[in-house]
Structure 1
Amino acid sequence: MKTGAIIVAGGTGRRMKSSLPKQFMTLGGKEMFVRSVEIFHGSDFVYSTVLVVHRDWINKAKEILLKRGLNSVMVVPGGESRQESVYKGLLSCREVGLEAIMIHDAVRPFFSRSQIPELLRLVAPGRGVVVTEGVNDTVYLVGNDEVLDVPDRNCLRLAETPQTFPYDEMLEVHKRAVEENILSSTDDAQLFVRSGGQVITVNSIAPNPKITTAFDFDMAELLINKGS
Structure 2
Amino acid sequence: MPQKEYAILVAGGKGTRMKSHIPKQFILLNGKPILMHTLEVFASYSSELSIILVLPESDVETWKNLCLEHNFNISHTLTIGGDSRFQSVRNGLSTIKESEGLVAIHDGVRPLVDKDTIAASFRLAAIHQSAVAAVRLKESIRVTDQDTTKAVDRSAYRLIQTPQTFDLAIIKNAYNIKEVSTLTDDASVAEMAGHKISLFEGSYENIKVTTPEDLIIAEALLKRKNKG
Separation in structure 2 between the aligned mates of residue 200 and residue 113 of structure 1, nearest angstrom: 19
TM-score (norm 2): 0.90
Separation in structure 2 between the aligned mates of residue 38 and residue 196 of structure 1, nearest angstrom: 34
Aligned residues: 222
Percent of pairs with identical residues: 31
Contact 2:135 2:203 in 1 (8 A): no
Contact 2:137 2:157 in 1 (8 A): yes
Contact 1:110 1:206 in 2 (8 A): no
Q: Which runs of 5+ in 2 are unaligned?
A: none
Which residue among 4, 7, 16 is the counterpart of 1:5?
7
Give the deviation of 1:24 after TM superposition.
0.2
Look up the equivalent residue of 2:73 and give its one-letter code.
Answer: G
2:73 counterpart of 1:69: yes
Q: Which runs of 5+ in 1 are unaligned?
A: none
Q: How does 1:193-204 map to 2 (within 5 A)?
A: 193-204=191-202
Contact 1:5 1:46 in 2 (8 A): no
Look up the equivalent residue of 1:144 and give its one-letter code.
Answer: Q
- 1:199 is paired with a residue of what secondary structure? coil
TM-score (norm 1): 0.90
- Counterpart for residue 158 of structure 1: 159
Contact 1:32 1:109 in 2 (8 A): yes
- 1:131 is paired with a residue of what secondary structure? strand
Contact 1:62 1:75 in 2 (8 A): no
2:178 counterpart of 1:174: no
- 2:162 is paired with a residue of what secondary structure? strand
- Counterpart for residue 42 of structure 2: 40
RMSD: 1.9
Which residue among 10, 17, 20 is the counterpart of 1:18?
20
Q: Deviations over 1:90-140 (max 9, x none)?
A: 1111x2455111000011100111222222221147731111111011111
Change (3 A) 1:203 1:193: same
Give the deviation of 1:205 after TM superposition.
4.4
